[in-house]
Chains A and B, each alone.
Chain A
Amino acid sequence: MDDSILLAHGSGGKLSHELVEKKFLPFLANPALNKLDDSAVFEASGRLAFTTDGYVVNPIFFPGGDIGKLAVCGTVNDLAMNGAKPLYLSLSAIIEEGFLLSELEQIVQSIKKAAEEAEVSIIAGDTKVVNRGQADKLFITTSGVGIISPGVDISGANARAGDKVLLSGTIGDHGIAVMSQREGLRFSMTLRSDCAPLNKLVSQMLEVSSRIHCMRDPTRGGLATTLNELAKQSKVGIAVEEAKIPVKEEVKAACELLGLDPIYVANEGKVVAVVDSADADKILARMRKNRYGRDAAIIGEVTKEHPGKVIMKTKLGPSRIVDMLSGELLPRIC
């Protein structure tokens, strides 16, 4: 095979078939996918969760992961946030002409590894190729299906006054890891993205408590945006303490360097959970036993006051409003 993607790889002809058979199938093989029918057929009954997502991260390779790993974890996590056990994913790749096959292989390997860890199968896929310049190397779109056990009712609208707000670990790791690779910002660090599939962590949390009211992964827009979404959806106030929010020293330093606030920086392997205060401690203990929840902490609580708003007690003492991210997260100079 040639060493980069040609337009012909997307035309549906011989090269397209070769691409699927040599670059995708061997790594993602499963009974449904192997059939190579026009659609995947599966059986499922019960309450199903369904999600879709697009991945356009730049750069496509970053410390701790790549666009492939991100695509699988992001989709798996969306399902897990509703308490669903993720089952099947579909994956569609739009590839820019000239993209290196060796890089495509690397990404497919990441997808395979992530899918294995999350115990999901990719049962439907598609590839298209566009002219050079019409896509930024590689865009991936996914959809995912999961199944929710009876009795599990998790939604952003379920938070109640008195609930505790739990965070599974340090914030800002992904956004900063990705930014460190961007041209012009030019700083190096050992920090890796926190990109990870959280479905097992979530199922462990659900095992110890049936009183988890909301869960959300604080991706774009960061922790601050997610907390605001929950406050608005549930029509409650949320009060958190800055001192209790775990942030790695490297992330703090990088944020200072760039003039960013860690609470607005994206995460790809964290969960915010709003739970009944009676179960908060035992859920926290269970989270800390999972490798993705080692730094879990109770960061605040839900209140009746100031519904729809998020208040943060600063390290110095006084409280201030934390709004959603507005506009883009631009590096600040002043």
Chain B
Amino acid sequence: MCLAIPVRIVSVDGDEAETEIAGVRRRVSIVFTPEAKMGDYVLLHTGYAIGVIDEAEAEETLKLLEEIASLSEVH
């Protein structure tokens, strides 16, 4: 069971949070990520946030992925 997508926390309300991605809003449970706060990105899986996305790591990976993407454009 692997489908989880990154969504941004708009507001926190106890055990739940209002999240948003590209204009789509959804209420999710944050029982597994109580440390999540407004502005954080979390991984959403079947209505629950299963982990907070590490922004620094995300940026690192994004850089790496962009590097690969530019290499593959060459070939």
Binding site for B on A (CB under 8 A): 186-191, 249-250, 252-254, 256-257, 259, 316-317, 332-334
Contact = CB atoms under 8 A, between A and B. Distances in A.
B46 A188 contact: no
B46 A256 contact: no
A69 B5 CA distance: 34
A184 to B, nearest CB: 10
B44 A257 contact: yes
Contact of A189 (B5, B24, B44, B72): B24
A332 B3 contact: yes
5 shortest interchain CB distances as A-B pairs: A253-B22, A249-B22, A250-B23, A187-B26, A253-B24
A250 B1 CA distance: 24
Nearest to B2: A334
Nearest to B26: A187
B1 A334 contact: yes
Contact of B24 (A257, A317, A332, A334): A257
Interface residues of B, number: 14
Contacts of B63: none
19 contacts: A186-B27, A187-B24, A187-B26, A188-B25, A188-B26, A191-B23, A191-B24, A250-B22, A252-B22, A253-B5, A253-B21, A253-B24, A256-B21, A257-B5, A257-B26, A257-B44, A317-B72, A334-B1, A334-B2
Nearest to A187: B26
A138 B44 CA distance: 36
A256 B23 contact: no
Contacts of B1: 333-334
Nearest to A316: B72
A245 B10 CA distance: 30
A78 to B, nearest CB: 31
B1, B5, B26, B72 interface centre (most CB from chain A within 10 Å): B26
A258 B21 CA distance: 13
Contacts of B25: 187-189
Contacts of B72: 316-317
Contacts of A249: 22-23
Interface string B21-48: 1111111000000000000000010100
A333 B3 contact: yes
A190 B23 CA distance: 7
Contacts of A191: 23-24
B2 A254 contact: no
Contacts of A189: 23-25
B16 to A, nearest CB: 12
A240 to B, nearest CB: 20
